[in-house]
């Protein structure tokens, strides 16, 4: 009876960066440039890895899938942020908020799993080079990508349903840049302990498990590389892994702090900054990291835009 009498929230207000009123135009310009950079950079990686015959290998197959994933991941949050900065309305409906959060979780988990798959690919290439064509054949690569995309879908839909099934009776102001579970828990008009635990368990499952697989792969990789007799061989082996390792550090460093950290471990402002890292900075730097660390990619870009790059 009490719950029936509560006024249920039908829309939320995303505060975003409203505490910086004099910088709204500047922030809009910055995030617009970032979003266009993400679309252009990752789009170029997709084009060159799909069209260049030299890139028809498992490593680049995973790379173009990862680049496409980065575009999707950034598109869940950045267009909404840009619209809020431009219109200053910052209002998002209850359903739109739930959809945004659900896609954010699904794509975030897909990114964790795909990073683990890419680490496994490097492990097989360096530690078992003779068996690499047999183990990482095209069918296996496609299956690994499909598993990365769909594994977490049913669980994350259920987690989103649990979060948005909480009673929200007001206030409806989310002190964040997009709809996410941690700030939403602060608005619930009921005990959220069980749902918080459920979210953390799922986060542990889909963040820590892939990370442990990545860690195990790199322990094996480093052990194998150090046993190589030639310095040039070690240098080449390290260079093939360094780009992936840098992306892993960027994504996991910020994401794990937000979802696995204690409630009091960071303020709302630092939470927004950390959220920007794993939703915008990683997708933006992904093509730069892989381009600057890969001579083949640089050569392909020069062929794609010979006049621009020569000038």
Q: How much is the pLDDT for 265?
A: 46
Q: pLDDT at position 258, please?
A: 64
Q: Which residue has the tokens 């260079």?
A: 239
Superfamily classification of domain 13-310 = Rhodopsin 7-helix transmembrane proteins (1.20.1070.10)
Extents of the domains making up the chain = 13-310
For 180-218, b/e burial (b = at least 16 CB within 10 A) is bbbbbbebbbeebeebbebbeebbeebbeebbebbeebb
Find how far residue 52's CA is from the centre of its chain: 26
Q: Among 7, 16, 5, which residue's Cα sits nearest to residue 81? A: 16
**Measured in whole angstroms, how far is the alpha carbon of residue 73 from the centre of its chain?**
6
Q: Is 155 left (phi over 0), alpha (psi -120 to 50) or beta?
A: alpha
> According to the model, what pLDDT value does residue 117 have?
95
pLDDT recorded at residue 199: 87
Would you tell me the crossing angle of helices 282-292 and 24-51 to the nearest 10 degrees?
40
| Three-state secondary structure call for residue 209 | helix
pLDDT digits (tens, 9 = 90+) for 110-156: 999 999 999 999 999 999 999 999 999 999 999 999 999 999 999 99
Instruction: Give pLDDT, residue 3.
Output: 47
One pLDDT digit (tens) per residue for the chain, 311 residues? 344 445 678 899 999 888 888 889 999 999 999 999 999 999 988 988 888 888 889 989 999 999 999 999 999 999 999 999 998 889 999 999 999 999 999 999 999 999 999 999 999 999 999 999 999 999 999 999 999 999 999 999 999 999 999 999 878 999 999 998 888 998 999 889 999 999 889 988 888 899 999 999 999 998 988 887 777 767 777 777 877 888 888 787 766 666 666 554 456 677 788 788 888 888 888 888 777 666 777 777 777 766 454 54
Q: For position 270, what pLDDT does the model report?
A: 75
pLDDT tens, residue by residue, 68-104:
999 999 999 999 999 999 988 899 999 999 999 999 9
Query: What pLDDT is recorded for position 1?
Result: 38
pTM above 0.75, yes or no: yes
Please give the pLDDT value at position 155.
93
Encoded tokens for 131: 């068996």
């Amino acid at each position: 009876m009490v719950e029936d009498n509560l006024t249920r929230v039908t829309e939320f207000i995303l505060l975003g960066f409203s505490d910086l009123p004099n910088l709204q135009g500047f922030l809009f310009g910055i995030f617009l440039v970032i979003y266009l950079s993400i679309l252009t950079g990752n789009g170029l990686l997709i084009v060159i890895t799909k069209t260049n015959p030299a890139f028809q290998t498992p490593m680049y197959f995973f790379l173009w899938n990862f680049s496409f994933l980065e575009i999707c991941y950034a598109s869940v949050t950045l267009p909404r942020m840009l619209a809020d900065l431009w219109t200053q309305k910052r209002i998002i409906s209850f359903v739109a908020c739930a959809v945004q959060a659900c896609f954010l979780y699904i794509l975030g988990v897909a990114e964790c799993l795909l990073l683990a798959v890419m680490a496994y690919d490097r492990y097989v290439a360096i530690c078992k080079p003779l068996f690499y064509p047999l183990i990482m054949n095209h069918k296996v690569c496609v299956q690994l990508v499909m598993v990365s995309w769909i594994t977490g879908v049913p669980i994350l839909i259920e987690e989103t349903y649990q979060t948005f099934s909480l009673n929200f009776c007001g206030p409806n102001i989310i002190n964040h840049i997009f709809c996410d579970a941690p700030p939403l828990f602060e608005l619930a008009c009921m005990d959220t302990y069980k749902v918080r635990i459920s979210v953390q368990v799922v986060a542990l499952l889909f963040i820590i498990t892939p990370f442990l697989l990545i860690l195990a792969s790199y322990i094996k990789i480093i052990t194998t590389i150090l046993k190589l007799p030639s310095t040039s061989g070690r240098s080449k082996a390290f260079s093939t892994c360094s780009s992936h390792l840098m992306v892993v550090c960027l994504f996991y460093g910020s994401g794990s702090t937000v979802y696995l950290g204690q409630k009091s471990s960071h303020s709302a402002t630092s939470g927004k900054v950390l959220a920007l890292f794993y939703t915008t900075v990683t997708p933006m730097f992904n093509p730069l990291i892989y381009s600057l660390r890969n001579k083949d990619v640089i050569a392909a870009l020069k062929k794609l835009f010979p006049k621009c790059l020569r000038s």
